[in-house]
A and B are shown apart, each in its own frame.
Chain A
Amino acid sequence: MNEVLSVLQDFAQQCNHNERLRKMNRDWSRLVELLATDTGVTYWLRSDQGQITAGVGEIGGVDLKILAAEDVLRDVFSGVMTPTEPYNAGDLLVKGHQDDLMRLDIITLLIWGE
């Protein structure tokens, strides 16, 4: 299986097994597109009623787009680095509402800590 997809599915699983995150994301229904800028592969994360799912392939009607190289996406969603680190270096770009971006950062914070 594709490594980034596997990381995203694992990330989704961790969110779904976390009581606090499930409660926090209950009213946060969003579709997030992740484009690996070096390989051109598109992934997605869907948050719906507190449940997160992940997949690969183009998808319409997204709320938030994240653009970064494959290794950055992998490291961010496996907890090796916080999203803020590549974001503040310009290695991770986003299109969408800042509140949604912050929510994603908070999710990683609650999974992997400070």
Chain B
Amino acid sequence: MAASTPDFKRVLPLRTAVSTSAGLASAAINFLACVEIAEYAGGNSAWLALLVAGVLILFAGANFSELNGMYPSSAAIRVWTRRGLNDTWSLVMSLVYATTVTFVIAADAFVLGHVFQAALPQIPGLIWIVVLLAIVTAINLRGIRIAGIVQDANGFFLLATLVIFSLIVLLHAHTPLLLPRLFHLGPNWFQAVAVGVFIYVGFEWVTPLAEEFEDSRMIPRGMFIALGLIAVGFGLFSLALTVVFPNAAVLKHSLVPQLVVGMRALGPLGFWWMVVVSLTTAMTTFNGGMATASRFVYALARERVLPAKVGRLNAFLVPQTALLILAAASLGLAIIVYLTGQYMFLINAGAAVESFMYAATAIVVWNLRRREPRTARPFRSWGVPAMSWLMAVIFTLLGIGSMLAPSGEHGFPGPLVFLTLLTVGAYLYVRHVVPKLRAARRPIKRVVPKL
């Protein structure tokens, strides 16, 4: 349907597909997720858990590529699940999926607060969180968006930094890396892979840009290249972490592991370099997350899934109410997590939601092959239906693994309770409130053309 013609004015290059995919996956909270992976993996084999998660994510990427090729739309998951499952489940999944943006913004705010507290101890981290989130919200409210090139550059800047700093640390390691330790699997290795999924979370958020690419094959290529870059960058960082902290139990107490690696690699210069990397990464996460999620909320309001007032625009044509709700939710969550220190809750819940989403897309691909066999597919996923079912089972198990991964001192499965309540709440809302909102729509006087 979306045939290409040479007269289209504006197209995005492959570079943008790669940088967007890598940039959106590279949140500052990934540094702490690497700590958690290393802790579960039992040390040096963290890189292997990340690699295994990455291989599984490749299959999820193939499913996203097929769906994106069929329906290149910024409404992405909403369109695919609606056609591949049904409207009710599509809405439930879209609402739950959208909350992961809040998780990631809150998580990055948590990281940023601790980074600044370590760098400038005179000012409490909580103040940094409030100020920086307020700045990004104000910028977004005025309709100013960080230039695409800045967003693009940050992904490469972060990954290049990780590779270079990690290699310096590894080349100057005090204790040699022994082969058996690199492959030693700790008792919670399955959880290490489950949380490993979180490192790649967001790689698929390049698909809503599909409409801006003339050649729809750019998105799959961009996603696969980005997955390779993320695996190398964070794989090396995980390995460097386990060299800096040979004892995994000590590792889990570090809330600013990237600053420690930076210090070990280049001294104070490396430390401050990592402060800047953390700041730019978190700010681009805030900005990209808020802009994307507020538009998604606006679209739901226009579709009568949310009250119309949620979609109201300000003088700058920005969905103001949606943006303020998201900013308040992110700030509230960030403050709670900062005060309680339960950041692992966000990582585990985010990894679980994404794993379930990857399982669902495998089923959607299979369903659409049956329902819409004639629709053009510029990219065809691999091994449908056998691999679809296998991936659905694997990602469901990984999602359960993430939900059950102990968060906090007492091992209370917070993500399990929270996501169950969230899903049930979303389902009840879609079943009972949405029909009323849709029925209450003011009838529009149709403009009948004079023929």
- Report which A residues bind B (CB closer than 8 A): 1, 3, 6-7, 9-11, 14, 24, 37, 60-63, 65, 67, 78-80, 82, 84-85, 87-90, 93-98, 101-103, 105-106, 109, 112-114
Interface status of B161 (Cβ within 8 A of chain A): no
Q: Are A87 and B449 in contact (CB under 8 A)?
A: no
- 8 residue pairs A–B, Cβ–Cβ below 8 Å: A6-B449, A14-B447, A37-B1, A88-B299, A89-B83, A90-B71, A90-B73, A114-B302
Q: Are B73 and A93 in contact (CB under 8 A)?
A: yes
* CB within 8 Å for A97 and B10 given contacts A85-B303, A87-B73, A114-B308: yes
Interface-facing stretch out of B74-82, B338-346, B409-417? B74-82
Measured in the bound complex, the distance between the Cα atoms of B9 and A3 in whole Å is: 28
Instruction: Identify A80's interface contact among B7, B8, B444, CB under 8 A.
Output: B444
Which residues of chain A are within 8 angstroms of B83 by Cβ–Cβ distance? 89-90
Name 15 extra pairs, CB < 8 A, besides A7-B449, A114-B311.
A3-B451, A10-B447, A79-B447, A82-B302, A84-B299, A87-B75, A88-B299, A89-B79, A90-B79, A93-B71, A94-B73, A98-B74, A98-B295, A106-B317, A112-B444
Which residues of chain B are within 8 angstroms of A96 by Cβ–Cβ distance? 8, 10, 211-212
Which residues of chain B are within 8 angstroms of A37 by Cβ–Cβ distance? 1
Q: Are B1 and A94 in contact (CB under 8 A)?
A: no
Measured in the bound complex, the distance between the Cα atoms of B149 and A73 in whole Å is: 35
Q: Are A98 and B211 in contact (CB under 8 A)?
A: yes
A22 to B: closest C-beta gap in Å: 15
Q: Are B8 and A7 in contact (CB under 8 A)?
A: no
Which residue of chain A has the shortest Cβ distance to B84 in the bound complex?
A: A90
Which residues of chain B are within 8 angstroms of A6 by Cβ–Cβ distance? 449-451
B447 to A: closest C-beta gap in Å: 4
Interface status of B155 (Cβ within 8 A of chain A): no
Q: Are B451 and A1 in contact (CB under 8 A)?
A: yes
Which residues of chain A are within 8 angstroms of B299 by Cβ–Cβ distance? 84, 87-88
* CB within 8 Å for A101 and B447 given contacts A62-B8, A65-B8: no
Q: Are A78 and B313 in contact (CB under 8 A)?
A: no
| Interface flags, B68-98, vs A, CB<8A=1, else 0 | 0001111100111011000000000000000
Q: Are A63 and B9 in contact (CB under 8 A)?
A: yes
Instruction: Identify B79's interface contact among A63, A88, A102, A114, CB under 8 A.
Output: A88
| Interface flags, B427-451, vs A, CB<8A=1, else 0 | 0000000000000001011111111
Instruction: Identify B7's interface contact among A61, A102, A106, CB under 8 A.
Output: A61
A112 to B: closest C-beta gap in Å: 5
Q: Are B449 and A60 in contact (CB under 8 A)?
A: no
Measured in the bound complex, the distance between the Cα atoms of B317 and A93 in whole Å is: 22
Q: Are B317 and A103 in contact (CB under 8 A)?
A: yes
Interface status of B134 (Cβ within 8 A of chain A): no
| Interface flags, B47-78, vs A, CB<8A=1, else 0 | 00000000000000000000000011111001
Which residues of chain B are within 8 angstroms of A65 by Cβ–Cβ distance? 2, 8
Which residues of chain B are within 8 angstroms of A114 by Cβ–Cβ distance? 302, 308, 311, 442
A49 to B: closest C-beta gap in Å: 18
A1 to B: closest C-beta gap in Å: 6
